[in-house]
Amino acid sequence: MKILVIGASGRVGSDLVEQLLADNHQVVGTTRQDEILFNDDNYTQLDLDITAEKNAIQSQIADDIEAVYFVAGSGGKGVLEVDLHGAVKTMQAVEDKGIKRYIMLSTVFSLDTSKWDNPAIADLKDYYIAKHYADQWLVNNSTLDYTIVQAGALKERAGTGKIAINSTEAGENAIEDVAATLVAVLNADNTNKQVFNMQNGDTAISDAIAKL
């Protein structure tokens, strides 16, 4: 497939692109950085500014893109411009182009405000509000075939290939496993219009996704 990865230079984004390329997908990665991030014949790169107008974003997305990942993040600076409005504009642009598949990397309990008194979340309140309304838009205001993958704290450690899904408490994630989970949902039709949270666990990723 030809896949657009919005946020290809991020911690999850770079792992995700590597895994998609390993699966022989064609990947268009977006980044604000100048240097080419991956040296692979199946990789091309786009300087996509998601703070630009929606039509400017849309004009940069190729017609033959078949699926889109949103794995960009403001890192706390520009949550309104990037994590909320930037994300929604990409949804609108993708939808207006007739592309159906949209996979969003979000954060655990983004849609469950009753969990937001957790101190770890309370410290990230603005980020959570931004992700909340972006995810709400995807669920309630778009016609996209979305999947929202809500990961907990991202850790730079080796993946295990095993996760737990829809835990009631937030947990940690190896970044490699988050990327592998994002790859696993791509063609899993049972994940269309689904939202789930994930963390390190005991179930092989493919089994966990199949049970959704």
Q: Burial, 64: exposed, middle or buried (Cβ in 10 Å; 0-12, 13-18, 19+)? A: exposed
Using CB under 8 A as the binding rule, the residues of this chain from 169 to 208 that contact a copy of itself are none
Q: Confirm or reject binding of residue 155 to a copy of itself (CB under 8 A).
A: no
- Torsion angles phi and psi, residue 80, rounded to 5: -70, -45
DSSP for 16-61, please give it.
Answer: HHHHHHHTT-EEEEE-S-SS-S---TTEEEE---TTS-HHHHHHTS
How many residues bind a copy of itself (CB under 8 A)? The answer is: 22
**Which one of 126, 162, 204, 212 is in contact with a copy of itself (CB under 8 A)?**
126
**Which one of 36, 64, 123, 125 is in contact with a copy of itself (CB under 8 A)?**
125
The tokens 């790169």 sit on which residue? Answer: 45
* Minimum CB–partner distance for residue 130 and a copy of itself (Å): 6
Q: Burial, 122: exposed, middle or buried (Cβ in 10 Å; 0-12, 13-18, 19+)? A: exposed
Q: Confirm or reject binding of residue 84 to a copy of itself (CB under 8 A).
A: yes
C-alpha of 148 from chain center: 7
**Which one of 33, 59, 113, 187 is in contact with a copy of itself (CB under 8 A)?**
113
Binding segment for a copy of itself among 110-118, 144-152, 171-179, 199-207 (CB under 8 A)?
Answer: 110-118
**Cβ-based neighbour number of residue 199 at 10 Å:** 22
Q: Confirm or reject binding of residue 53 to a copy of itself (CB under 8 A).
A: yes
Q: Which of 40, 126 has the CB closer to a copy of itself?
A: 126
- Residues making contact with a copy of itself (CB under 8 A): 53-54, 79-81, 84-85, 88, 113-114, 116-117, 125-126, 129-130, 132-133, 136-137, 140-141
